[in-house]
Chain A
Amino acid sequence: MEIVLTMTAVILSLAAAGAIVRIAVGPSLLDRVLASDVLLAIIGAALCIDMAVNRHLNNLMLLVALSIIGFIGSVTVARFVADRREQPNES
Chain B
Amino acid sequence: MNPDASAVDALTDTVSAVFMVVGALMSLAAAVGLLRFPDLMSRMHAATKPQVLGLFLLLAAVGLQLRTWWVWPALFVAWIFQVLTVPVSAHMVGRAGYRTKHLHKELLTADELEAVVLKSADKKAADLRAKGNGRMPGEKRKTDDDGGSSVSV
Contact = CB atoms under 8 A, between A and B. Distances in A.
Contact of B55 (A19, A45, A79, A87): A45
Chain B residues touching A, range? 35 or more
Interface stretch (B1-9, B60-68, B143-151): B60-68
Contact of A35 (B34, B55, B71, B75): B34
Contacts, number: 165
Contact of B21 (A7, A57, A64, A85): A7
B16 A70 contact: no
Interface in B82-100: 82, 85-86, 88-89, 92-93, 95-97, 99-100
A73 B74 CA distance: 24
- Number of chain A interface residues as a range: 35 or more
Contacts of A67: 55, 78, 81-82, 85-86
Contacts of B75: 60
Interface in A50-68: 51-53, 55, 57, 60, 63-64, 67-68
A64 B78 contact: yes
A88 B128 contact: yes
B34 A30 contact: no
Given A15-B24, A17-B31, A51-B62, 9 more contacts: A8-B21, A11-B27, A34-B47, A52-B58, A52-B61, A68-B85, A75-B92, A78-B96, A88-B124
Interface of A: 1, 4, 7-8, 11-12, 14-19, 21-22, 28, 30-31, 33-35, 37-38, 41-42, 44-45, 48-49, 51-53, 55, 57, 60, 63-64, 67-68, 70-71, 74-75, 77-79, 81-83, 85-88
Interface of B: 13, 16-17, 20-21, 23-25, 27-28, 30-32, 34-35, 40, 43-44, 47, 51, 54-55, 58-59, 61-62, 64-66, 71, 74-75, 77-78, 81-82, 85-86, 88-89, 92-93, 95-97, 99-100, 102, 124-125, 128, 134, 137
